[in-house]
Chains A and B, each alone.
Chain A
């Protein structure tokens, strides 16, 4: 659902507004990309977001996340 929401925002808001949102989002994390950077980022997102949306449909609701290398020893 989140991926769908992100895509809808992108479609509805238009490229300029999305770029402004992205710039704000990046600045909140202390990063300041150029317009050229954001064009390339958009190319990646256009390819990635539909694939993630499909993953959302595929993964069963009860699927647990993969392990994260937590130590296995007893305390």
Chain B
């Protein structure tokens, strides 16, 4: 069940919070041995918290009784935040919830557990040496993407009604795309990062991964807003995202990022996303091909800063626990040691140039659309993906498709829009800063007109409704 339908059923008294939690625990028991979406399940605690909710939903708790799960870089009081790393084997139990978890609980949600991630959320595969790979429900020999791969797998397989992930350079959008669900990276500063293990502090963003845009709207409304303890959050009103979903597509001005359909992309993926654009046209939106300024350089701009910020965040652990990192994350973190400081400043100056250039683009277009990912998910254990008959380095192939929106801190969402070889393909929608309501409205209209988000992976039995 989706967040929206489950919340409605709970509110109507058709099932109790305990029953909602228990049915998800049963499903985790049945499927997670294969999928490995969870690092830790809070079975007893979640049942106790369900019982403590009482028998009827207060009007100010829209997620009352809804079982959710969060990526294991997000603190949940009473559990260890592992970040899927051996480095944190002896980390203390978190004494306090992260801000986003506090807010989920305040909305009435129940946290089922902690979800698998690429080690320290610093990679796009979710194949932790310490906790094992999260497996894609659509093909269990393939990765879920990452870094929020466990969140994607859990949402796709119904192991939680909704999930939270984090996104630094695509880590919500990539797994949402590869597992066939909906994921929204909010504007940087829209959701507090307090209690979240950092990757690169000026890019990191917490956001929802769930079945539908409607679910993402409900989850985002619960977690968004200023946090006096996180200076990166912006003190701006949070729109009623769910109420604004129904505005439709008529009159919406949408730019289509032409070059992302033409270069560095599997032709079948490009054709699938191109075909999906007809839904927006049929709904009355105005679409036109556009070029994103500096598109081929935005990956470098992000990396000029991200390497330094990630290395700084880990410097103490690099000194004391270097051998305990997985080889790929260790290499990324060490690379940051060897980039001179002027590269970071260059990145910051280039970020300003990119920001101004994209601001110009978004003066003309309310949204831009593109394929979320250029390739299908690689097989577990492989670092390459197939692209039109050739093998390409997976991590390099995806940068161009995800960096523009991260560099400029823009809201960006991936929604499922079709299949190639039985594997999901995602469409990315991005808007200007704080335009989450417009992104969600367009995504919701697309999902009302299509059924891609309702497809279920063949390896995963349908949940009992």
Chain A residues within CB distance 8 Å of chain B = 2-3, 6, 22, 25-26, 29-33, 36-38, 40-41, 43-45, 47-48, 51-52, 54-56, 58-60, 63-66, 68-69, 71
Give the distance in Å from the alpha carbon of A72 to the alpha carbon of B335 in the complex: 33
Residue of B nearest to A72 (CB): B235
Number of interface residues of B (CB under 8 A): 40
Q: How far is the CA of A47 from the CA of B335 in the complex (A)?
A: 11
A-B contact pairs, 22 of them (CB 8 A): A25-B338, A26-B334, A31-B319, A31-B337, A32-B322, A36-B327, A37-B331, A40-B328, A45-B339, A48-B300, A48-B303, A48-B339, A52-B300, A55-B300, A58-B297, A59-B349, A59-B353, A65-B348, A65-B352, A66-B349, A69-B202, A69-B232
| CB-CB nearest in chain A for B299 | A51
> Smallest CB–CB gap between A28 and chain B, Å?
9
Which residues of B, 318-336, contact A by the 8 Å Cβ criterion? 318-319, 322, 327-328, 330-332, 334-335
CB-CB under 8 A from B334, the residues of chain A are 26, 31, 33, 37-38, 40-41
Q: Check B337–A52 contact: CB distance below 8 A.
A: no
Decide: B346 and A52 in contact? CB cutoff 8 A.
Answer: yes
Q: Which residues of A contact B389 (CB under 8 A)?
A: none
Question: 3 closest pairs, A vs B, by CB?
Answer: A40-B331, A65-B348, A51-B300
Contacting residues, chain A, for B331 (C-beta < 8 A): 37, 40-41, 43-44
In the complex, how many angstroms separate the beta carbon of B28 from the nearest chain A beta carbon? 36
Chain B residues with CB under 8 Å of A30's CB are: 315, 318-319
For B328, the closest partner residue in chain A by CB is A40
List B contacts of A59 (CB < 8 A): 346, 349-350, 353
A29-B352 contact, Cβ under 8 Å, with A37-B331, A51-B299 = no
Contact of A66 (CB < 8 Å), options: B307, B335, B338, B351: B351
Contact B346 A55 (CB under 8 A): yes
Minimum CB distance partner of B232 in chain A: A69
Closest to B230 in A: A69
Residues of A with C-beta under 8 A to B318 = 30-31
Known: A29-B315, A40-B331. A64 touches B303 (CB 8 A): no
B349's partner among A25, A37, A65 (CB-CB below 8 A) is A65
A48's nearest neighbour on chain B, judged by CB, is B303
Shortest C-beta distance, A17 to chain B (Å), equals 14
Judge if B231 is at the interface, Cβ distance under 8 Å: yes
- Alpha-carbon gap, A14 to B340, bound state (A): 19
A63 touches B349 (CB 8 A): yes
CB distance from A1 to the nearest CB of B (A): 9
Is B343's beta carbon under 8 Å from chain A? yes
Q: How far is the CA of A2 from the CA of B319 in the complex (A)?
A: 26
